Amino acid sequence: MVLIANTDLLGIFSLARGYGLSIGFMWIAMFHFSASIGEGRPLQLIQFHLASILAVLSSFTQLDFYAAAMISYYPINWAVVSNDHEWRSLISRTWKINAAMLLVSCLVLFGPVSRMLQGNQLDFGGKTGFWDSTVRTIIYSTAAGFTVTPQNFHLYQIAVGLIVLMGSIVVYIQLRRT
């Protein structure tokens, strides 16, 4: 359903250029990441790290995803876990696994990333700023079939920004209630 709903994703996966592989590994990593939330199961964490490493090796743009997932792992668990005792138990069970797997990922990714840095080829795009390089792409991708005029484009940017902000607030409120 996701591939049918978004023609860009269908193009990415059907052309098999490397983006499909990296996005596939990212989805696998996201599945294991979400399965480990609140549970801290060692196998799920290891599979998350391994899938993330493969996603980054497929496309270095997935390095942002991996870093964001690692940074947000404990805050998300803090929001999900119901009491302080469970939170401390989860940290004591998972920090060694995360540290070891982060070390493994650093060892695996050090060579390819350092070669890219030596050749000054590590480029994530986005030279014009967040609104122009990210929000513009989202608006044009979701507005397939009708023309977005330059006069109305700023309104669409504001609408997308408000939707993301309101969605984040709703998710935060829902997580706090449970």
25-68 residue pLDDT tens = 888 999 999 888 877 788 999 999 999 999 888 877 788 888 88
Buried b (16+ CB within 10 A) or exposed e, 34-56: eebeeebeeebbbbbbbbbbbbb
Please check whether residues 12 and 65 belong to one and the same domain.
yes
What tokens does 109 get? 């990714």
Please check whether residues 130 and 85 belong to one and the same domain.
no
Which of 122, 148, 169 is a domain's end point? 122
The per-residue pLDDT for range 87-116, each reduced to its tens digit, is 788 788 888 888 999 999 989 988 887 777
Whole-angstrom Cα distance, residue 168 to residue 65?
18
Please check whether residues 144 and 112 belong to one and the same domain.
no
Whole-angstrom Cα distance, residue 58 to residue 77?
28
Query: What does the angle CA 80 – CA 26 – CA 171 come to, to the nearest 5 degrees?
Result: 30
Whole-angstrom Cα distance, residue 138 to residue 136?
5
Which of 101, 122, 143 is a domain's end point? 122
**Domain interval for residue 153:** 125-178
What tokens does 114 get? 């350092």
Please check whether residues 104 and 38 belong to one and the same domain.
yes
pTM over 0.75: no
Please check whether residues 116 and 169 belong to one and the same domain.
no
How many domains are contained in the chain? 2
